[in-house]
A and B are shown apart, each in its own frame.
Chain A
Amino acid sequence: MVVEVRGLSVLRGGRPVLDRLDLSVGEGVTGLLGPSGCGKSTLLRSLVGVQRTHGGEVTVLGRPAGSRELRDRVGYVTQAASVYDDLTVAENLRFFARVLGVGAAEVERAVAAVDLAGHRDDVVGRLSGGQRSRVSLAVALLRTPALLVLDEPTVGLDPVLRRELWALFYRLAEDGTAVLVSSHVMDEAERCDRLLLMREGRIIADGSPAAIKERAGADDVEGAFLALVDPA
């Protein structure tokens, strides 16, 4: 397993967001699906090691989450585009490439992977929301991490681009990167190898999309989610 979470608890503002959560994430593309505010981001932040936790263990690639050795091997894309608005696309990527110690060829490759070659010299602040989040995604693609954690990377994107990004996630997974993608859009679930459905800080279903639908007796993941929440 790439990620092992045992008994993870997180409080934010005195309220429990995650309460003794257990889960594991393996190879391939795993989707973490749930409504806004269910604790997806907090869970992802815990895996990356930037969330203060209040109990439990998070192990990534055999080491405690956030260990120094993991910082080279785990890629993380936050929900809000974490790039510099006052720099161009290429300047942003060149900066992060220097920090990571990767070359200029990787910058061009990452720009092309998110289909921003036509905007490489545009200032990020003048791009659309979807383009900005693609710049943020490109930063995570500068090197090939062993685990790539993406917090709602496809929100607000053109369906064509969304399909291309999922194809990209699968290419990365084929090359050996474990990809963990969160989304609050249920129709994205069908694209995943494996799904984790989350609600109010708990994992309510875990398995392949087909298995989850079958178990809940529903035609789609949204129906399965509803059936699991409200079994009447």
Chain B
Amino acid sequence: MNPRVTLAVAVRVLTQLRRDRRTMAMLLVLPCLLIALLWWMFEETGPTTFDQVGPALLAIFPFTVMFLVTSVTTLRERSSGTLERLLAMPMGKLDFLGGYALAFGVVAAVQSVLAVALSVGLLGLEVQGPVWLLTAVAVADALLGTALGLLVSAFAGSEFQAVQFMPAVVIPQILLCGLFVPRGDLPSVLGAISDLLPLSYATDAMTHLTRSAAVGEVLRDLGVVLVVAAAGLALGAVTLRRRTP
């Protein structure tokens, strides 16, 4: 890996995002609006319900949004010929992936700072653990979405197909991560599947942080998310082929 090249990719991706104001607004504002909507929905049922679903949302948004953005942008890079050109230059595959991960990691950090500030500051979400760790988990989560998005972009022939991967890869993880039914109450088979899905660990980490000041389990869950993200990036690197048919 070459830090100069990795940084060049990250700066370029961020410049592209900055130019695309609409996407930037969607990335940063939309999660806040949806969290606010959810808080409003539960206003009549009592404040505890938002405390139960709020943490899961803080985990789900960075993951989902980064998954979508990455799978489409990487696919665009594959189909426009820029990826081919870059791979014919002295650029390592990990420089390319690392640059994307870095850029989207930065966006995710900003996004989650906004979402956490809104949830904790305005909407009254109770957080027992350190608030900065909430952001760290959100960034890890975004990296997970980025890694999986990069991976599926290799299997999509068009942007249309790439978007279809969301229901296939993301929604099952949302359903089984504990947002709807606590993971412990799932039928045993589904519970076992839930244990294999990385988003479950991200949600667990967020939930722990809101309920307890002890960070041991949070760090363990965070580790799982980061390991899966790294594995996804490594697998993504395998799908980046210098030689194509």
Contact = CB atoms under 8 A, between A and B. Distances in A.
Interface in B79-99: 80-82, 84-91
A123 interface: yes
Interface in B5-20: 5, 7-9, 11-12, 15-16, 19-20
A161 interface: no
B128 to A, nearest CB: 43
A66 B243 contact: yes
A37 interface: no
Interface string A68-105: 10011010101011111111000100011011110000
A84 B80 CA distance: 8
B244 interface: yes
Interface residues of A, number: 32
A148 interface: no
Secondary structure dominating the interface of A: loop
A144 interface: no
B8 A49 contact: no
Nearest to B85: A82
A86 B73 CA distance: 12
A173 B109 CA distance: 49
Contact of B5 (A13, A66, A98, A139): A98
Contact of B90 (A48, A71, A84, A85): A71
B82 A82 contact: yes
B12 to A, nearest CB: 4
A12 interface: yes
Given A52-B243, A82-B82, A87-B16, A100 B90 contact: yes
Interface in B196-245: 241-245
Given A71-B90, A86-B19, A51 B244 contact: yes
> Which size class do B's interface residues fall under?
20 to 34
A196 B128 CA distance: 73
A42 B77 CA distance: 20
A87 B15 contact: yes
B88 A50 contact: yes
B41 to A, nearest CB: 36
A86 B86 CA distance: 17
Given A86-B16, A86-B19, A95-B8, A74 B88 contact: yes
Contacts of A78: 81, 84-85
Most buried by A among B4, B80, B84, B89: B89
Interface string A110-128: 0000000000000100000
Contacts of A98: 4-5, 7-8, 11
Interface in B90-121: 90-91
Given A71-B89, A76-B88, A139-B85, A84 B8 contact: no
A84 B16 contact: yes
Given A78-B85, A82-B80, A82-B81, A52 B245 contact: yes
Given A50-B244, A86-B20, A87-B16, A99 B8 contact: yes
Contacts of B8: 95, 98-99
A123 B88 contact: no
Given A49-B88, A95-B9, 7 more contacts: A12-B245, A48-B88, A71-B88, A82-B80, A84-B16, A98-B4, A99-B5
Interface of A: 12-13, 48-53, 66, 68, 71-72, 74, 76, 78, 80-87, 91, 95-96, 98-101, 123, 139
Counting from the closest, the 4 A-B pairs by CB-CB distance are A82-B81, A98-B8, A95-B12, A82-B85
8 contacts: A72-B90, A80-B80, A82-B85, A84-B16, A86-B20, A99-B91, A100-B89, A139-B85
